[in-house]
Structure 1
Amino acid sequence: MDVFVYGTLTDPDTVSEVVSSFEFVCDARLDGLRRVEGTYPTLAPAPGNSVDGKLLRTADIRSLDAYEGIESGLYVRVSVPCADQSVAVYVGDPGRLDVAEPVKWPGDGSFEARVHRYLAEHAVCVREIA
């Protein structure tokens, strides 16, 4: 599975501590969101903005989910279009990451539901950077 990474998982040493096998496919850009600093970086709604990162390929998605705290709700894993496929993106709950600025995901419901709704309603995508 390909995953757009934009924080600690852009460091090969960190990735090698989390998964047993991986490769960085290419540099990439996530359009429609922006990076927000906090305890760990996360993303925020931002039409017209982008975040630079990398496409990470690994079969060990369970280890990435554990690292990102999916079960505890620290991050959610979402699917975002990229060329002719979809890639995974981890979005952290700003209310749990002590972010440096206020972040509001619009709408009602759970954090995960608001992220999914935003992605469905806006042109968020990942582009490979040659």
Structure 2
Amino acid sequence: MNKTISYLFLLFTAILMFACEKQVELPVNSALVGKWAYTGNSCNCTAESPAPVPASGSNTVLYFTPKSYYNYVNHEVTQAGTYAVVTDTLSYNHQPVTRIIYDGNTNAPKIFYKIVNGTLTFYTETPVASGGTELYYVQQ
């Protein structure tokens, strides 16, 4: 009887842990901190749904500190606030990815990022081939 109760308790605890999955804030990747200049995008865009990005040559720069971000367009701050970095998974392949959450807004569309060979790439859950968008920045 005690073994059965212990087994049921462990099973219930395991189910509860996975059912109540919470995002754990990660330490900020030190590679993210600094200035990043916008260089372009990739998208499967149409005239009806163009990529939501600045035009080339608009001097768009992102600046990240360990806790804050600043978006500059033509040397003027257009957006600023705080951000957090968490581990998440992509819905279509369940691969672990790094998500960035701006200003504590966990209800906003998910934005993920990766840094490869000095290029910062922001992307969404939708792959580019299916209508998603990737934004590219290089470190200054």
TM range (shorter): 0.3 to 0.5
TM-score, length of structure 1 as denominator length: 0.33
**More relative contact order, 1 or 2 (CA 8 Å, 6+ apart):** 1
Bigger proportion of residues as helix? 1
